[in-house]
Structure 1
């Protein structure tokens, strides 16, 4: 008879993370599916099953169960249960071979991060997989060492160790073997003996205490080493190349390790380093700590991007940041492969957000999405249960509502693969409402819902919710409607030359990477960066007169495309929310900001056939310099030049005029 573990132990086990790789065909595969292959189908389970070989430490009880029952060392995953965010076409595909190939292609050669599950069933144990995350390519032959990450300042952490106070290891709890290394900031702490750890269950099942910590040492780890030797970096756990930890770090601790208590305070919350990017510059407006932190954040954002070999223009970074602050929704557009989704993700990470903390949700959009229920879920009238969609959007929105002081970021990846106005319709209607009126209704208040305590009938979308979408423009995507464009800033990322990218990365000193260490604070102070100034007060009378003239030019051709009051108010919000930087390194001048906004909020709506828009946009033959349209003349006038040079707007009009000449249609 097998030993039965308590439900408490089983829950503790699956709070941890393990990394692994898809089993190879040369390994022994249990006979659980229709074929003994790493990925196969099980008619009994009516699902694709796959087998993963672990490459890092495993929970003690799982190893104990494995030894006592001679079960396989492989973990068993189920396609529709173990992997999050699978497209709906996978779920409803009746072709088993296609489903097998999809899972095989998704997992093969990748490092896989998952929560281990010990299942007790029919006098047997099974090692199962929950919440599987597909990481980057797995380097053949590597195994990994799980190092708990403590989200404290190193000084605070060392103080706790010396005082023999409990340390919370959230993704490495009591179910795991005692850790021999811990990561805090840019330091790895080691020289820890296994028997030094004492479990403190009186606090929680994550708390451990190091007894007599005098032998513990720390060594610094560089950004280059993190890039090279970290296989996966999650919220509270990092998976290092095991050989790197057991050789390079172990030797460094032996010969160069520093004892506890010798570390000085690294940074104060309201201070910056004293010189330029890479070491920062103190803002002259020291009375406004929010502005100081905001420029620090943008520096961190640029640095984090470059550390991942991504180079964006500073104007794009400031423009995107300002758009996110000032608009209900921001859409990132640009050439495929330019890094739209990565910019959105890095922006969230720099704010200290993550999917593990439920403060960021990356939601890939499927072409199968046709209605709000596809991303939200529905109330089943037969069972009386609310069935949330597999996207996780409802749970994310509930978490955002309950934690209104913490910013939450929803990233809709490739949002125009399906018609946005169909699946996102309730949100579009709510985006322009005041917070007190912004309620998303999941089902009728009078309906019977047995799990209504968990899934209440409506969710308030508060001001802490940030929505960013990414979009491509090709034959597989849908056009954005004017209704959506009227409520969104469309930021088109600049295509940098290959030479510029190479030069910037070569001149980027990774050992001096600017990192303020404020990630955990950014998400909490983000809301204070938003301007409270009246949007109408952002304009002078001559500017309003020019915008009236612009609206008249457009409305005379198409009244639905004019410069709306909504757009003007949003421009005021955009101008008011421009971050102030006295060094001018991360600054968009007001004149440039007006140009950017007109291009991405007004000109984007002007699209259509040559019969309608030739007079407004003009046409431009190959080799021509300026279109003969009314708008180009308006933006070249003396009245326009007093407000902005409108170079970006005019370049966009030139592009549209060329399209009219070549295709008879402007997009």
Structure 2
């Protein structure tokens, strides 16, 4: 079976070597090699640049005519002359055949006449087309790091960004073929984020952002693609970047209006709440925000709390809310897109074969586990735009470190390295069903893991290997009257919402539903490890020092710091969970859960009770020292709870 891949970036190229031109496709067309003369994305293979080709029949609608009645030599010469006077703008696709050979071809081709005989190298710069009255609006969006809708044929990789953005101003009667009247540069750009739903966002330092009109006569050699990319020389790129810093105008267009991604996320959280209420479940909005933030940062989420708080149900509600929200613009809104797999954990599970299955060496066959997890992971790999959520129900009935060991090791790795082994790859070729169950299975980025736990005499404690990787969320039990009032209010408003929904569906153009993982990714926020402020970093470091004083194996590793930062960066713009509460939650969920030991070990850290009076420990003192960051209500309550455990049991549980 052939495998195909396409790159979204637009490239600039020219004929590479006229001696390599050959006939192809039963002599009906000519294949020619292309030399790429512009920058490309980091994920483009070296062989794509080395062996890139295209075909003459792709040029026939662009002014070239291949006269098949001419001799082979004349056909080649005519094509060579045509290409030597032009540059080619194109995208690249690859195809791997059954013999595992990969071919790279240009497609979506544009032809432009060469403006110079010099052999320059070029950079692709985003080009925004606008009308005179809209230029300030575009600059304002860029300054406020807002999304620009529409596709731009540049790399979508976060670290692969241009030096600046160009804005071409056309007159009101402009057509696609008309020359722009004015050209502006905006920058410098320090990052990029792409959303399938919203478009591109160019990240800048607002304190050092400038714009400048560029004289078209000074632009030099350039080529403009229909896909909103302008190719300029490297020398001109340097000149514009430097002139922005030295002669550019500063911008002060601070906008207080909510960003589209914040509005989008608020709408989703409302849907999440409505789905829960429709099932007669009432969660505190802060719990829903907390769970959603932990999920979208792709941490391993563990749900704790007393029986009846809805630990399993919140996962089901989240799954249904994603589907409902992703399909809200479609008449087929009942279509289920994302998938959910509940895996009831068994007390007798000893290793990952109980979860994944095992190799039956006597029969030469891989037998998948009854959980269905392997097939679920395979399906996730085949549907990368959908969310696939695995819920390990009552996961601590067996030792998580045993049956989930491979997953714990790989979940924190880069996506391309998240692979688990079903069996030894040296056995490839000897397993009857290896096409269905290959030796190595990739855990794709659209795959999420959640666990639910109860704490009693029948369950196991978590090791540090689990705690270092998990957000342990304890769900609150809402006051009963509040639950009843919320459900009653939902039922009263339900009929009106159903009527509005029906009217909206009648007006809908029945768009293809947005896929669930695309929708969830649009809510994620990229950052450059600069989210935590110095006080927050100092607090985490001092927590680490205090914990290591009592036990060298305790502490706050840098992995936890990075995960806390990712959580803070991805907080929804919501009244129910602000930054102060979030740092309190993260210390409670990520750090205090690691405090396990005896009175002798932990007493000075946690504090102690003398009768009914709580005597604060060193960690409580730290929270008071950094009270400007948060009131730390949850963390302080957790410390008091741990101190009570020391009194009652002599150790924490």
Q: 2:489 aligns with which of 507, 510, 526?
A: 507
Give the corresponding residue for 2:345.
365
Rg (Cα) greater in structure: 2
Q: Distance in 1 between matches of 2:367 and 2:350?
A: 17
State the Cα distance separating 1:619 from its structure 2 match: 1.1
Pair 1:379–1:533, CA change in 2 (3 A): same
Pair 1:302–1:622, CA change in 2 (3 A): farther
Q: Secondary structure at the match of 1:318?
A: helix
- Retained in 1: the 8 A contact 2:468–2:560? yes
Give the corresponding residue for 1:634.
622
1:271-290 superposed matches below 5 A: 288-290=259-261
Q: 1:556 aligns with which of 549, 553, 559?
A: 549
Answer yes or no: is 1:659 the counterpart of 2:645. yes
Q: Distance in 2 between matches of 1:537 and 1:407?
A: 28
Instruction: Give the TM-score taking structure 2 as reference length.
Output: 0.55
State the Cα distance separating 1:594 from its structure 2 match: 0.5
Give the corresponding residue for 1:484.
466
Q: Distance in 2 between matches of 1:290 and 1:656?
A: 40
Pair 1:519–1:328, CA change in 2 (3 A): farther
Give the corresponding residue for 2:519.
525
Q: Secondary structure at the match of 2:535?
A: helix
Answer yes or no: is 1:438 the counterpart of 2:418. yes
Pair 1:519–1:497, CA change in 2 (3 A): farther
Q: Distance in 1 between matches of 2:305 and 2:263?
A: 30
**Count of residues in Structure 1 that have an aligned counterpart in Structure 2:** 378
Give the corresponding residue for 1:545.
538
Q: Distance in 2 between matches of 1:355 and 1:565?
A: 42
Pair 1:355–1:417, CA change in 2 (3 A): farther
Q: Distance in 2 between matches of 1:333 and 1:377?
A: 28
RMSD between aligned alpha carbons? 2.4
Give the corresponding residue for 1:184.
none
Q: Distance in 2 between matches of 1:478 and 1:436?
A: 32
Q: 2:408 aligns with which of 425, 428, 434?
A: 428
Cα deviation, 1:419-473, whole Å, max 9, x if unaligned, reads 1111000000001111111111111112121111111111111211111111111
Q: Distance in 2 between matches of 1:324 and 1:513?
A: 28
Q: Distance in 1 between matches of 2:311 and 2:256?
A: 32
State the Cα distance separating 1:480 from its structure 2 match: 1.1
1:204-353 superposed matches below 5 A: 288-352=259-323
State the Cα distance separating 1:546 from its structure 2 match: 2.2
Answer yes or no: is 1:612 the counterpart of 2:594. no
- Retained in 1: the 8 A contact 2:323–2:338? no
Q: Distance in 2 between matches of 1:405 and 1:423?
A: 28
Give the corresponding residue for 1:589.
578
State the Cα distance separating 1:543 from its structure 2 match: 2.2
Q: Distance in 2 between matches of 1:597 and 1:349?
A: 26
Q: 1:408 aligns with which of 376, 388, 392?
A: 388
Q: 1:643 aligns with which of 629, 635, 643?
A: 629
- In structure 2, the gaps of 5 or more residues are 1-196, 199-254, 325-333, 506-511
Q: Distance in 2 between matches of 1:414 and 1:356?
A: 26
Q: Distance in 2 between matches of 1:374 and 1:650?
A: 39
Cα deviation, 1:186-208, whole Å, max 9, x if unaligned, reads xxxxxxxxxxxxxxxxxxxxxxx
- Retained in 2: the 8 A contact 1:414–1:469? yes
- In structure 1, the gaps of 5 or more residues are 1-268, 271-283
- Retained in 2: the 8 A contact 1:297–1:522? no
Q: Secondary structure at the match of 1:620?
A: strand
- Retained in 2: the 8 A contact 1:607–1:665? yes
- Retained in 1: the 8 A contact 2:337–2:386? no
Q: Secondary structure at the match of 2:425?
A: coil
Instruction: Give the TM-score taking structure 1 as reference length.
Output: 0.54
Cα deviation, 1:325-358, whole Å, max 9, x if unaligned, reads 1243100100111110001111111112999867
Q: Distance in 2 between matches of 1:513 and 1:607?
A: 49
Q: Distance in 2 between matches of 1:463 and 1:622?
A: 51
State the Cα distance separating 1:492 from its structure 2 match: 0.2
Cα deviation, 1:171-193, whole Å, max 9, x if unaligned, reads xxxxxxxxxxxxxxxxxxxxxxx
State the Cα distance separating 1:505 from its structure 2 match: 2.0
State the Cα distance separating 1:650 from its structure 2 match: 0.5
Pair 1:470–1:316, CA change in 2 (3 A): same
